[in-house]
Amino acid sequence: MSEDSEQKHHEEHHHHEHHVRLIVQTLSGNYSHEYHKDDHLKHVVQATLDHLHIVSAPGEIWELRHHEHLLNLEHTIEQAHLKNDAVLKLAPKESGGGMSRGH
C-alpha cells in the first residue's frame, strides 16, 4: 500500500518538472494553459489562437514576446527558458513597417 502512494507521489513530482503553465495575453483575452517543456512555441501560439477563436489573416505572422523579448517560435518552451507561470504577449506582427514611421 505504501509503495503505491510513493509511486503516485513520484509521478506528480515528475509531472510538475516536465510541465510549465504559460499565460498568454492577447487583445482578445488571456489563455492560461499547461504545456510540456518539449512543446514548440508555435504550438503554444496555435493553441491560444484556437482557444480564443482568433482567425489569423492569410500571411499574418504572430509574434510571441516575453518581457519585450521576441521569442523564436521554432524553439521549445525549455529552449526559450520559460518558467512556470510565465506571462507572454501574443500579437500579430506589424506589417509594412508601420512601427518605424516617425523615427
User: Which domains, from first to last, does the chain contain?
Assistant: 19-95 (3.10.20.90)
**Residue whose C-alpha is closest to residue 17's, from 83, 87, 86:** 83
pLDDT of residue 17: 75
* Beta sheet of 69-70, edge-to-edge order: 29-36, 19-26, 86-92, 62-66, 69-70
Q: How far apart are CA 6 and CA 12, in angstroms?
A: 10
Q: How is residue 48 written as a grid cell?
A: 491560444
Q: 44-64 pLDDT, tens per residue? A: 999 999 999 999 888 899 999
Confidence of residue 100 (pLDDT cuts 50, 70, 90): very low
pTM, 2 dp: 0.76
Q: Give the pLDDT confidence score for residue 31 in this predicted structure.
A: 98
**Could you tell me if 20 and 35 are in contact, meaning their C-beta atoms sit under 8 angstroms apart?**
yes
Write down the mean pLDDT value for the chain.
Answer: 85
> pLDDT, tens digit, for every residue of 69-88?
999 999 999 999 999 999 99
In 3D, which of 41, 25, 31 has the Cα closest to residue 81?
Answer: 41
